[in-house]
């Protein structure tokens, strides 16, 4: 029944924001931001269940723990940067939102460096000794 709570909260906050917007735009923005935060906090527990399942499956499949941790980190970065970018976009700062998203992409690429390196190394090992090795 959590979903009903969240949807009801979202609708209530929507109307409150509509009321506040014409009088006090800054407060309206803060209110919608806090509603987003609270919905996210409600969802974090469920996300934790999913991630626990994922990491258990990875353990069963004898995957390298580093890669799973990296992927989870990447998912977290994607969520959090999207969250920040949406808030900035709501405030009318489209350029700032774009920069936040850019930062998220760059950080994700940096985190993916070890994985990509290992992929390239694996491919090089598979190939016959022609150039590198």
Partner 1 sequence: MPLDVNTIFQIAGIGIIVAMIQTVLKQMGKDDWAQWVTLIGFVVILYMAATLIGNLFDKIKNVFLFM
Which residues in this chain contact partner 1 in the complex, by CB under 8 A? 5, 9, 12-13, 16, 19-20, 23-24, 26-28, 30-31, 33-35, 37-38, 40-42, 44, 47-48, 51, 69, 72-73, 75-76, 79-80
**Closer Cβ to partner 1, 12 or 124, answer by number:** 12
Q: Which of 38, 17, 37 is closest to 27 using CA atoms?
A: 17
Give the shortest CB-11-to-partner 1 separation in angstroms.
12
Asked if residues 16 and 8 have their Cβ atoms less than 8 Å apart, the reply is no
Give the shortest CB-75-to-partner 1 separation in angstroms.
7
Q: Pseudo-torsion of CA 108, 113, 114, 119, nearest 10°?
A: 110
């Amino acid at each position: 029944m959590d979903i009903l709570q969240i949807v009801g909260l979202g609708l209530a906050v929507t109307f409150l924001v509509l009321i506040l917007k014409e009088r006090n735009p800054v407060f309206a923005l803060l209110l919608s931001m806090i509603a987003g935060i609270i919905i996210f906090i409600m969802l974090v527990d469920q996300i934790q269940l999913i991630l626990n399942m994922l990491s258990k499956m990875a353990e069963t499949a004898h995957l390298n723990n580093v890669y799973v941790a990296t992927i989870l980190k990447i998912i977290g970065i994607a969520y959090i940067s999207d969250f920040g970018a949406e808030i900035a976009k709501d405030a009318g700062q489209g350029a700032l939102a774009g920069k936040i998203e850019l930062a998220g992409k760059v950080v994700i690429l940096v985190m993916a460096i070890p994985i990509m390196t290992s992929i390239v190394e694996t491919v090089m090992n598979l190939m016959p000794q022609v150039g590198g090795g």
